Every structure is written in structure tokens, then in C-alpha cells.
Amino acid sequence: AAEDAIFTFDVGTPVIWTARHLKTNGKRRILGSFSHGSMANAMMHAIGPQNACPNRQVISLSGDGGFTMMMGEMLTLKQLN
């Protein structure tokens, strides 16, 4: 991942993978639903930063359930190109 990448994640296994394996460096940002544990929010959390910072790499981590719940957002990504 890029040195200044932005990571978003859903609850469950993606939180564990992010916490255990993501190497932070002061430039990377992690966005998630820390207080509420909302499911299927990673893609929506990724769309905003990608539009605001088009030159930064944004990585969204979702599990099978979260991905299934937010598959409609793939249309949003296509519309935003």
C-alpha cells in the first residue's frame, strides 16, 4: 500500500486484519465505525475520501456479509468512475 494510503474496514474479521497487519507510519489513515460496529460501511467510508483526495490510494476491507450488503454501491463507484 502507498505510504499515505487511506484504509476503511467493516466490523468482524476486517477489523482484526487491520489491527494486526496494517503498518502505520503517521501518514496513513484508518476509517471505521469504531463506536457503533456498523456492518457494511467500509465501501461508503472509502467513496468520500477517494473523491476528496483522488491522488491518494484508498483501500476498503470488507467481509463476505458486508460486501453482500453493500454491493449496490458498486453502481455508485461506476457512476463516479
Give pLDDT tens digits for 29-50.
Answer: 999 888 887 889 999 999 999 9
Q: Considering the entire predicted model, what is its pTM?
A: 0.87
Is residue 15 assigned to a domain?
yes
Q: Is residue 68 part of a domain?
A: yes
Mean pLDDT of 48-53: 95
Region 58-74: what's the mean pLDDT? 92
Flag whether 56 is in a domain: yes
The reply to whether 52 falls in a domain is yes
Residue 49 maps to a domain: yes
Counting the structural domains of the chain, the total is 1
Report how far apart, in Å, the C-alpha atoms of 54 and of each of 10, 13, 48, 81 are. Answer: 22, 27, 10, 11
Whether 12 maps to a domain, the answer reads: yes
Domain span including residue 54: 6-80
Alpha helical stretches, state H, 1-81 = 13-21, 42-52, 64-69, 73-80
Give me Rg for the CA atoms of the chain. Answer: 12
CATH classification of the domain holding 59: 3.40.50.970
Within-domain flag for 1? no
